[in-house]
Copies of this chain bind each other. A is one copy, B any other.
Amino acid sequence: MTIKAINVRNQLRGRIVEILTGPVLSEVDIETAGGIVTSVITTRSVTELNLQVGTEVLALIKATEVSIAKI
């Protein structure tokens, strides 16, 4: 089933630069135009999506999950 569109407003395009694999969850580091974005997903998803260093992906972030800090 192809997804035509998704409501997730934040979609940062990038390339995987590192994968740290654990028994249940894995950390996937993605190089984007805005810097490294780190994602934690299930190790099963890493395998099923066949994610590897170099794979081009979108990092998706729901707007309600974004906090703001003043600097």
* A interface residues with partner B (beta carbon < 8 Å): 1-13, 20-28, 30, 32-35, 37-42, 44-46, 48-49, 51, 55-71
Contact = CB atoms under 8 A, between A and B. Distances in A.
A6 B38 contact: no
B10 A20 contact: no
**Could you say how many copies of this chain the assembly holds?**
6
Contacts of A62: 41, 64-65, 67
18 contacts: A5-B49, A6-B60, A6-B68, A7-B45, A21-B24, A24-B25, A33-B34, A33-B35, A38-B42, A38-B63, A38-B66, A39-B63, A41-B62, A41-B67, A41-B68, A55-B70, A58-B71, A61-B67
A63 B51 CA distance: 17
